[in-house]
Structures are given as structure tokens and as C-alpha cells.
Amino acid sequence: MLQRLIIKNYAIIENLEIDFSGNLNVITGETGAGKSILLGALSLILGERADPGVLFDKTRKCVIEGIFKVKKSQVAAFFQRHELDLEDQLIIRREISAAGKSRAFVNDTPVNISQLSELSSHLVDLHQQFDTLDLGNADFQREVIDALVNKPAGLQQYHQVYLQYAQVQKKYKQLHDSRDHANKELDYNKFLLDELSEAGFGPNEIEDLDSELQLLTHAEEIKNTLNRVFFQLKEDEQPILQQIKQLQSSLQGLSAFHKDVPGVAARLLSSYLELQDIAGEVENINDQVQYDGVRIELVNERMALGYRLLKKHGLHTSGELLALKEELTARVDNVLNLDEQLLLLEQEQAQLHETLLKAAIVISAERQAQAAPFEKKVNTLLAQVGMPNARLKVALTEGELNPYGHDTIEFLFDANKSNQFAPVGKVASGGELSRLMLCIKSLVAKSVALPTLIFDEIDTGISGEAARQVGIILKDLAKAHQIICITHQPQIAGKADAHYFVYKDAKADKVTTSVRLLSQEERIDKIAQMLSGEKPTAAALENAREMVR
């Protein structure tokens, strides 16, 4: 529950502290005194966006601080998830600097606004006048029924399976689209692959053929040159080898006369042996080189095919051609495998759908079980708050699977026992919506672990006995929850456990908003003023005493 609210330098509030009771807290005051400003400040520590224009003194920062008493089990998961220190007392602080920068803290640890909003959802339900619009919202209506069912673990488990189901559906659609697109290209890719497979080029084959063609087309020139070299080395009238051998023998004969001659002779012998080996190699090469016109024609045809394929695909080497062949093979295989993958996804999708359907049937049955008792209780409360002819009906219809089951839930309303039910957001007036929202929240609050409920003028459009009955409902609700209620109705103010009066105070040419907790006699006086005006009559005072009693 909210134990204390501290407001500094906000709107027309300079410095204010309010200690709340744990039951029914009523806030009253003249129109424009600043009652809604209190809720505006409170909403900042509940995660609302900050407006730097709200600073009372533009030279100082604004500080809003709320001190809450909480059950650790209620917020333990949040604190563990965000690695925050959890204590028995929870202090939430929001600061807005003079420059307009906003910061938030939980137990003095900085947090972001989304974290603050998440935490506040476990602490406070803030109902303002415009919140009655939620009654016509399908998500709100579903959340009401699910709150009464009060089995969040089952819904969470269903939701997780549904997310998995949605992912499989998305993957199936993407794969199906890919297959359709691939099928359009399959025939062409198979044609290209067949063409490359039929050509059957090996690694570096085109480059090797080019080298072979150079050899074949120059075979005569090569053989003539080789023959000439071999002839001059070995078969000429005075072969080079024979001459070198003779020269070597001559030098060898002089070895005894000069110490350097044997070395030169040995070198000539080495040259002789090397040239002899060269002559043999030349002869071998010459024997291998043969002009082959048929082979030239075959190589030319093979190279023409290779170059045509290279040009067709914008490639340059045999290796690139083989890489393209592998790529086309993979493309064709992928298309052929897509059907198998789609079949597996279909099976997975069917299994998940069956699981979801079974769970949705259980969820739907639980909702159906709560719908009739909920209708009865709401209609009883509506009669209590001055709407005896009004009826609420919960329409549950089965539809497609969605993240929350397969139910479409709609609240239908009949204000005059006409049996002409229509969507509540279209036929209920503002006052009817306010009372209906109170009835619904009073029932939901008993199923949800939400310690504090705040109502901003829930009594709009009602008075007299209806207002008294609203007060009774709030009083009953306050037995298990902390209620903070801004009201203009004396019948509701009379039910308060703590009554706070908001007023404007002029100091040093400045108008500020102040709040004070009223004593018993002050309460009677203020309620009497609410009944009959600024100067209450004796009857009004007596009536006020009766209300307070």
C-alpha cells in the first residue's frame, strides 16, 4: 500500500507530504483546488511521461516520492529480473530537473520508465475519469474475465505455445513463398546444370587445352628447331659434342705441365656430359611432338564450347565454371528438398495447433464458468448503485486461435430491461460507465493481488442514494485493499477512514495547494458544506454527523 506521498516543486504544490491510511482514503476540496494535481504527481512515480512545464519554481528540480509497504512475494519476480534490492519498504522517486531531464529511482537505484511502469502495475490501479473508455475495449473485457478465472500460469503457458505456433506459421509461409519463387527458376537452373554436366569440364581443363593447342599448332616449327639442335650437337660433319670432347682430350694431355689445366679440362668434360644429356632430352621431346590435325580439330571444338560457356555466364576460368555447376546443383537440390521441409513444418504446425486447441477449450470453459456468476454479481451491484433496470451480459463466441485462446469476449449492456443488449461502449452514458466500472473493479480486485486502488471522481453523474451505495461498495472494498478516492459526494466522504481536504493557500503573492487530514469535527463540517453550502445549516450538520457515524 501507499504509506506516504511527498511532492516538491510540482505544478502549484511547493512542498507537500501526505500519510495515507491502509483502508478508505477520501480526498475532497473545491473545484480547482488541486485534487487532480495530486494524482498527476502520483502518476509520475507510476511511470507516466514527465512534462518539464510542471515545475512550480523553474530554477529548482521537482521531486515526487512514494513510500510503499509491500509483500515481498508480490514484487519479488520483478526485483529479481531487474537485479534490484528488495526491502520491506519500497521507495519510488521521480525527479525532473530544471532543464527538463527526468530520472527515476527504486530504493535509490536508477531505473527506466518502462521498468517503473511494470513495477507500478503490481502496486496500484489508477482509475481516472477517461478510464471508463476501457470498458468498450475488447482486451480490457477479456482481462476482466481472466482476472476472475485467476489462472495466469495457464494463460502464460498457452501464450508461449502460441508464440511458437506463430513462428512456425511465419517460417512455413516464408518457405512456401521461397518454393514458389524457386519453382519458377527450377526449369531454367536444371537446363543450365544439364548443359554444364553434359560439357563435363574438369579442373583447369580449358587452360590445359589452350596450352595443348599452342603445342599442336606449332608442332612443325618445334620439330624443325629440335632436329637442328640435335643435328648440330651430334650428327653434323663436325658435331659440337665431338669438338668439345677433342678439346677436353687436348687439355687433359697438358695436365702435367700446368697446375690449372686439369681444372679447365674437368669443366670441359662436365660441359660435354651436360650437352650430351641435352641432346638426349631434345631427341625425346622431338619424338613426343607430333602434328595431329584430327586432335587440333577436337581441341578447337572443346575450347570453343568452354569459351562459349564462360562468356554465357560471365566467367573467366574452368574453376569458376565448376563452382557455378556446384551452385546450380545446390539450388536444384534445395528446391527438391523444400517440399520435404514444408511437410515437416506442416506436421509441427498441426501438432502445435492441436495443443493450442485443447488448451483453448480448457481456457474457454473456465471463462464460461465465470461469466454467469460475474453477470449476476455485477447486476446486483448495479441495482445497489442506483441502476436497478441495468443489465450486463457477457457474450463469449468461439473464433480463430489468438494469443489468448479462441474466445471473442464482449460486454453487452441494457440500461432499461428492454432485452435489447448492445456493446457497452456504444449505449452506456458517462455516469453509467463510471458506476459499471466501479462494480467491475470491485469484483476483479478480490481476485487480483493489487493492494492499492485509486479512483478519480468515480462518482461522476450520480448523487443521493446511488452515491451512498457507491460509498458502501468502496468501504467494503477497503476492507482488503487500500482505496484512495477523489470525490465530490458527501455520501462517499462520510465512509472514509481518513478524510483529506485539498485547498489553496496564498503566501508571499504565490498560490499553492495544500492538504490536511481532517479531524472528526472538521470532517462533519466539510461534509455539511458539501451538503448545503459554505455555511451549513443545523440539519446539514446533523446529516453529516449521521453520515460519519
Q: Is the pLDDT of residue 281 over 60?
A: yes
Let me know: does 220 contact 296? Beta carbons within 8 Å. Answer: no
Model pLDDT, residue 134: 65
Cα–Cα distances in angstroms (integers) from residue 235 to residues 225, 280, 426, in the given order: 15, 12, 120
Of 294, 316, 338, the residue that ends a domain is 316
What are the backbone angles phi and psi of residue 203, rounded to the nearest 5°?
-60, 130
Say if strands 62-69 and 2-10 run parallel, antiparallel, or are unpaired: antiparallel
Indicate the average pLDDT of the chain. 86
Q: Is the pLDDT of residue 385 over 80?
A: yes
Q: Tell me: do 9 and 112 sit in the same domain.
A: yes
Model pLDDT, residue 129: 44
Q: Is the pLDDT of residue 127 over 70?
A: no
Mean pLDDT of 382-400: 90
Q: Tell me: do 118 and 209 sit in the same domain.
A: no
Q: Which residues contact 321 (CB under 8 A, 6 or more apart)?
A: 196, 201, 206, 306, 309, 310, 313, 315
Q: Tell me: do 119 and 215 sit in the same domain.
A: no
Q: Of 1-5, 155-159, 342-346, 439-443, which range is least confident?
A: 439-443
Set of cell numbers at residue 246? 677433342
- Alpha-carbon distance of 543 to 465, in angstroms, equals 14
Q: Tell me: do 21 and 119 sit in the same domain.
A: yes
Of 316, 349, 364, the residue that ends a domain is 316
Q: Which residues contact 531 (CB under 8 A, 6 or more apart)?
A: 490, 540, 543, 544
Residue 108 lies inside a defined structural domain of this protein: yes
CATH of the domain at 507: 3.40.50.300
Model pLDDT, residue 92: 92
Residue 397 lies inside a defined structural domain of this protein: no
Q: Which of 8-12, 331-335, 465-469 has the highest mean pLDDT?
A: 8-12
Q: What is the pLDDT of residues 315-352, one digit of tens each?
A: 888 888 899 888 888 877 777 778 888 889 999 999 99
Mean pLDDT of 491-507: 89
How many domains does the chain fold into?
2
Model pLDDT, residue 165: 95
- Alpha-carbon distance of 488 to 30, in angstroms, equals 9
Mean pLDDT of 543-549: 85
Q: Tell me: do 2 and 96 sit in the same domain.
A: yes
Residue 92 lies inside a defined structural domain of this protein: yes
Residue 66 lies inside a defined structural domain of this protein: yes
- Alpha-carbon distance of 456 to 14, in angstroms, equals 22
Model pLDDT, residue 455: 84
Model pLDDT, residue 132: 52
- Alpha-carbon distance of 469 to 472, in angstroms, equals 5
Q: Of 251-265, 438-452, 534-548, which range is least confident?
A: 438-452
Of 296, 316, 336, the residue that ends a domain is 316
Residue 267 lies inside a defined structural domain of this protein: yes
Q: Is the pLDDT of residue 178 over 90?
A: no
Mean pLDDT of 208-231: 82
Residue 260 lies inside a defined structural domain of this protein: yes
Q: Is the pLDDT of residue 144 over 50?
A: yes
Q: Is the pLDDT of residue 133 over 60?
A: no
Model pLDDT, residue 450: 66
Q: Is the pLDDT of residue 130 over 50?
A: no
pLDDT band at 39 (very low <50, low <70, confident <90, very high): confident
Q: Tell me: do 1 and 119 sit in the same domain.
A: yes
Residue 309 lies inside a defined structural domain of this protein: yes
Q: Tell me: do 114 and 220 sit in the same domain.
A: no
Q: Tell me: do 9 and 119 sit in the same domain.
A: yes
Q: Tell me: do 209 and 312 sit in the same domain.
A: yes
Other beta carbons less than 10 A from residue 360's beta carbon:
19
Domain that holds residue 277: 205-316
Q: Which residues contact 22 (CB under 8 A, 6 or more apart)?
A: 1, 482
Residue 524 lies inside a defined structural domain of this protein: no
Model pLDDT, residue 410: 92
pTM value? 0.64
Mean pLDDT of 201-205: 88
